[in-house]
A = this chain, B = another copy of it.
Amino acid sequence: MSSHTTTPKKPRTRRISESTIRRLSIYYRALARLEAEGYHTVSSKELARRERLTPAQVRKDLSFFGSFGTRGLGYPVSELRGKIARILGIDRMWNVALIGVGNIGSALVAYKEFQRQGFHIRRIFDNDQRKIGSNHKGIMVSDIADLESELKASKIEITVIAVPAHAAQDVADRCVRAGIKAMLNFAPVNLKVPDDVCLRTENMSMELEYLSFSRVNQGSVETVLLDAEKA
């Protein structure tokens, strides 16, 4: 490679990997615990030990966003926690709507932890006439027919999709049309959304399948190879 490669601009827009963001969530929780335990500072070594990561990983992750530590001392627990909250965008409130208040949906509404984290369920939608108009933890269930208008009117920023799989893509499409840019999906389907919409899918079947795989192939994969060949 030539010494001066064609670097068009400064790489200001560094790409942050998904894993780094996931670890920021981990650090955030770890720091909350450290704070509760009365620590004022923590080293990357200690933080890594607690979360089963490497010190270098911790430092590298944080370095993408700035210099938060003090050499020879470590990171200020409480302050770093605040900075990570800011980076993750959880230093504010988010207006969330739940779509489909069945088994999973009801559990989510009842879960107070999300609210404490700043994710406020402001609206609930369903298509079941028996549910529409009923009260769930102080929130009146709206008719799915009014989805787009209500999402806009109530300034919803994140939708949680908890409808049956066959209805999920349609619901997602309608959310997109209503301008929603972030969704959490519980239906076991790969929803198609535009590039500028952030979609996360919580697929419990996939997690169970992963467990299953890891049990069948206890560490090694030789078994699978054999099985697959003779099958």
Contact = CB atoms under 8 A, between A and B. Distances in A.
Interface stretch (A36-44, A70-78, A81-89, A168-176): A81-89
Contact of A214 (B90, B108, B198): B198
A189 B189 CA distance: 26
A228 B87 contact: yes
Nearest to A185: B207
A114 B181 contact: no
**Interface size bucket, A side?**
35 or more
A5 B215 CA distance: 23
Nearest to A29: B188
Interface string A190-231: 101000101010111111111111111111111011011101
Interface of A: 12-16, 18, 21-22, 24-26, 28-29, 51-52, 64-66, 68, 82-83, 86-90, 94, 103-104, 106-108, 110-111, 113-114, 117, 119, 157-158, 181-184, 188-190, 192, 196, 198, 200, 202-222, 224-225, 227-229, 231
